[in-house]
Amino acid sequence: MAVVTKRLTSAQLADQLRVAIARLSRRLRQTRPMGELTQNQISVLASLEHAGALTPRELAEAERVQPPTMTKVLARLEERGLVQRAPHPTDGRQVLLSNTEAGRAVLNEQRRMKAEWLTARLGQLSQADRDVLGQAAEILDRLAREDS
């Protein structure tokens, strides 16, 4: 039986995608154990993994938070041994932050849990739905990478 879908305007599609992506993102965030790291702390670990060593100011800019907020997040991560400081090679007033091995392990575990949850959910779908989602994933990735 063919599914008839209504043609949406770009604005309607944008709204529908925004809601669906936000809902899925929220559900993926809920896979992390309660009492563990906050979403901000996980985001900082991910930023450091992606960008490499950063100064606290660069990290605050990357995370789009104020420096005092970043200072608090970093203090908690350092207390747990997930982030380390090293002297800046060219500016003695600065430090560079990077993930420790434990920080990378925590980040990998978070990703594993999300992938496990999503894999189980995708396994409940038909092959046709999974094929459509595969195409959608490619398109969404392209949208996220384009500057326009």
Domains and CATH numbers, the chain: 37-125 (1.10.10.10)
Q: What's residue 24's pLDDT? A: 95
Q: Convert the pLDDT of each residue in 75-132 to its tens digit.
A: 999 999 999 999 998 988 999 999 999 999 999 999 999 999 999 999 999 999 999 9
Q: What's residue 1's pLDDT? A: 44
Q: Is the pLDDT of residue 32 over 80?
A: no
**φ, ψ dihedrals at 95, nearest 5°:** -125, 155
pTM: 0.79
User: Percentage of the chain surpassing pLDDT 90?
Assistant: 78
Q: What's residue 34's pLDDT? A: 64
- Whether residue 97 contacts residue 59, with contact meaning beta carbons closer than 8 Å, is answered with yes
Q: How many other β-carbons are positioned within 10 Å of the β-carbon of residue 122?
A: 12
Residue position matching structure tokens 């992390």: 32
| Alpha carbons within 13 A on the beta-carbon side of 89 | 2
Q: Which amino acid is at 87?
A: P
Q: Which token pair is 46? A: 């991910």
Q: What's residue 80's pLDDT? A: 95
- Whether residue 47 contacts residue 103, with contact meaning beta carbons closer than 8 Å, is answered with no
Mean pLDDT of the chain: 91
- Whether residue 88 contacts residue 55, with contact meaning beta carbons closer than 8 Å, is answered with yes
Q: What's residue 91's pLDDT? A: 87
Task: Find the mean pLDDT for residues 38-66.
Answer: 94
Q: How many helices (H) and strands (E) does the chain have?
A: 6, 2
Helix or strand run (H / E) with residue 145:
helix 127-145
- Pinpoint the alpha helices (H) of the chain: 10-29, 39-51, 56-63, 67-79, 101-123, 127-145
What confidence category does residue 43 fall into, taking pLDDT thresholds of 50, 70 and 90? very high
Q: What's residue 146's pLDDT? A: 72
